[in-house]
Chain A
Amino acid sequence: QSALTQPASVSGSPGQSITISCTGTSSDVGGYNYVSWYQQYPGKAPKLIIYEVIDRPSGVSNRFSGSKSGDTASLTISGLQGEDEADYYCSSFSSKNTGVFGTGTKVTVL
C-alpha cells in the first residue's frame, strides 16, 4: 500500500490557477470515486476541502475544484490567494476498506 504520488511543490502568483496531481493505482484512486483533498496549515489539523472527487463541504471556497481521470486525481485552485499557501494532501479509499494518503504538496503563493 504505497503512498499516492503528488508533486512536492507547486507555486503560482495571486490570481493564477494551479493544479496539483495525485497519482495512484487501480486499487485506490482508479478503483473508487472516494478521492478527497485536505488543506493543512503549519501546526494545524488537516481540513477537508474536496470529497468524493468533486464535492466541496459547505463553507469551502468554490475556488477549489477536483477531478479524476483513470488513476490520477487533481485539485485545482483558481484565483490563487495568499491564504491558499499551505500543504495539500490527497487521499483515497483502498482495497479491504483501508485508506491511503498522498505524499503532500506545498503550495507557495509568489
Chain B
Amino acid sequence: EVQLVQSGAEVKKPGESLKISCQASGYSFTTYWIGWVRQMPGKGLEWMGIIYPDDSDTRYSPSFQGQVTISADKSIRTAYLQWSSLKASDTAMYYCARRGRGAIGDYWGQGTLVTVSS
C-alpha cells in the first residue's frame, strides 16, 4: 500500500527556519517524482515544485523559486520542504504528493500545518 506520512504541525516565529518531511512507503521511491502543494487558509491548492529522488532533479513553480528548497534523501525514502527565513504569509497547510498515473498527485500525504506568528 502506497503511503506518504508527513511530519507534524509546526508553530514558528517570523525569521526562523523550518524543514518538514514526507516519508514514503509501499512503492519504489526513486522512480516517481514527488511534489509539494500549498494551501493557505480558506484558499485553493498551489503547486510548489517537485523532485525526482533518484537524481534530485528539482523543478519549482516560478512563484516559489528562491522561496523554498525541496530535497530528498533516498536512503530513508523521505522528501523535504524547507524555508530559511519564514514569513507570516507562509502560514498554510502543506501537502506532499506522488506524481503518478499522469496526475500531479495520485497519492497524498495527510498534510503538515505550518503556523508562523510572532
Query: With A1-B63, A45-B108, A99-B35 given, is the CB distance from A52 to B101 under 8 Å?
Result: yes
Q: How far is the CA of A45 from the CA of B110 in the complex (A)?
A: 6
Residue-wise, chain A 41-56 has the 8 Å CB interface mask toward B (1 for contact) of 0000111100110010
In the assembled complex, the Cα of A83 lies from the Cα of B44 at a distance in Å of 20
Partner of B104, one of A1, A40, A57, A91: A91
Residue among B49, B101, B107 having the largest count of chain A Cβ atoms under 10 Å: B101
Q: Which of B39-81 contact A (CB under 8 A)?
A: 44-47, 49-50, 59-63
| Contact A46 B59, beta carbon cutoff 8 Å | no
Contact (Cβ within 8 A) B45 A99: no
Say yes or no: B47 contacts A100, CB within 8 Å. Answer: yes
The reply to whether A57 and B101 contact each other, CB–CB distance below 8 Å, is: yes
- How many chain B residues touch A (CB < 8 A): the figure is 27
Contact: B105 with A104, CB < 8 Å? no
Distance in angstroms from B88 CB to nearest chain A CB is 22
- How many CB-defined contacts (below 8 Å) exist between A and B? 82
Q: Is the CB of A101 within 8 A of B104?
A: yes
Q: Is A64 an interface residue (CB 8 A)?
A: no
Which residues does chain A contribute within 8 Å of B99, judged by CB atoms? 99
Contact across chains for B109 and A45 when beta carbons are under 8 A apart: yes
Instruction: Kindly state whether residue A98 has any CB partner on chain B within 8 Å.
Output: yes
Give chain B's interface residues, CB within 8 Å of chain A: 35, 37, 44-47, 49-50, 59-63, 95, 97, 99, 101-111
Given contacts A46-B95, A91-B103, 16 further A-B contacts (CB under 8 A): A36-B102, A36-B103, A36-B104, A46-B97, A47-B108, A51-B102, A89-B45, A91-B45, A91-B47, A93-B102, A98-B49, A98-B59, A99-B61, A99-B99, A101-B47, A102-B44
Minimum-distance CB pairs A-B, first 10: A36-B103, A104-B44, A52-B102, A51-B103, A99-B47, A45-B108, A101-B45, A99-B104, A91-B104, A34-B102
